[in-house]
């Protein structure tokens, strides 16, 4: 497993991939901070009405990060789907299996490497978002004393952890569609089509579906359960069950499906 972990980091460390991924992440994180502070005039933003007083609370330090949680999830999905499905399309998986014939150990090492990469992406997004929030706060007249308090640091830690769980959850979906479709384009297209338009349409027609659809539950977790109909604990339990089922299906397909390329 350790060899598979280290081997998977080789393509993840490619300069083009790293620069592209982290540049996009930084841009998204900056956008989240800017839009959050632009909405402090009482304009509706993600279903809420943001005010200077609300941003001045300890939770205000992660409001900008929460605004981009779904985009961080999309990054997690795309990274995992592209990496795992790319091994099939490039034909490199066969060579990897010759070096590591224990398929489940190979898959576990790959997934751990991808999970650690996603963690770095979320941390980078948090760093950019929080830093820019401190820059924009004086401009919009938002006091930041509560942000640097013990309560503020606690909220920051919770916000990063929740967004990391959210991104990992999307990554589990990315792994499933990658192993099912074996094509980066197909895996990413199907994954994004499900979590974005399909779930949005379904919840728009039938609101109760938001209590059970994984994408909606992951947003609940990313935002700490605030503003969502499902409690944080219930959302976490349902996502855990979904993740276990998805991981089991992924492992079985990877273990027993014939290698044709």
How far, in Å, CA of 164 to CA of 22, rounded? 15
How far, in Å, CA of 213 to CA of 204, rounded? 12
Tokens of 199: 């779930």
> For residue 197, what is the DSSP state?
I
Tokens of 89: 């399309």
Position 48 scores a pLDDT of 55
Query: What number of other Cβ atoms are within 10 A of residue 47's Cβ?
Result: 7
Position 230 scores a pLDDT of 85
Per residue in 48-91, pLDDT (tens digit) is 556 678 889 999 999 999 999 999 999 999 999 999 999 998 88
Position 228 scores a pLDDT of 76
Spell out, as residue ranges, where the chain has pLDDT lower than 50: none
How far, in Å, CA of 196 to CA of 198, rounded? 6
Position 49 scores a pLDDT of 52
Position 260 scores a pLDDT of 62
Contact assessment for residue 222 and residue 163, using Cβ atoms and an 8 Å cutoff: yes
Nearest CA-CA partner of 125 in 176, 80, 74, 195: 74
């Amino acid at each position: 497993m350790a060899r598979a972990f280290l081997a998977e980091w080789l393509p993840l460390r490619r300069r083009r991939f790293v620069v592209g991924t982290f540049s996009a992440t930084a841009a998204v994180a900056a956008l989240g901070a800017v839009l959050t502070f632009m909405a402090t005039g009482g304009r509706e933003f993600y279903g809420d009405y943001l005010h200077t007083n609300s941003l001045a609370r300890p939770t205000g330090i992660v409001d900008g990060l929460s605004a981009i949680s779904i985009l961080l999830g999309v990054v997690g999905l795309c990274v995992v789907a592209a990496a795992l499905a790319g091994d099939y399309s490039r034909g490199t998986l066969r060579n990897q299996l010759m070096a590591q014939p224990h398929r489940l150990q190979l898959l576990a090492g790959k997934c751990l490497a991808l999970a650690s990469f996603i963690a770095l992406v979320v941390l980078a997004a948090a760093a950019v978002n929080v830093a820019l929030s401190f820059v924009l706060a004086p401009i919009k007249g938002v006091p930041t004393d509560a942000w640097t308090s013990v309560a503020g640091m606690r909220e920051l830690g919770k916000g990063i952890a929740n967004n990391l769980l959210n991104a990992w959850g999307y990554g589990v979906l990315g792994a499933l569609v990658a192993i099912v479709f074996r094509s980066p384009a197909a895996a990413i297209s199907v994954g994004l089509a499900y979590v974005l338009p399909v779930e949005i349409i379904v919840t728009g027609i039938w609101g109760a579906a938001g209590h059970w659809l994984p994408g909606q539950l992951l947003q609940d977790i990313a935002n700490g359960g605030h503003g969502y109909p499902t409690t944080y604990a219930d959302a976490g339990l349902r996502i855990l069950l979904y993740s276990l089922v998805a991981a089991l299906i992924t492992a079985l397909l990877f273990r027993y499906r014939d290698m044709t390329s």
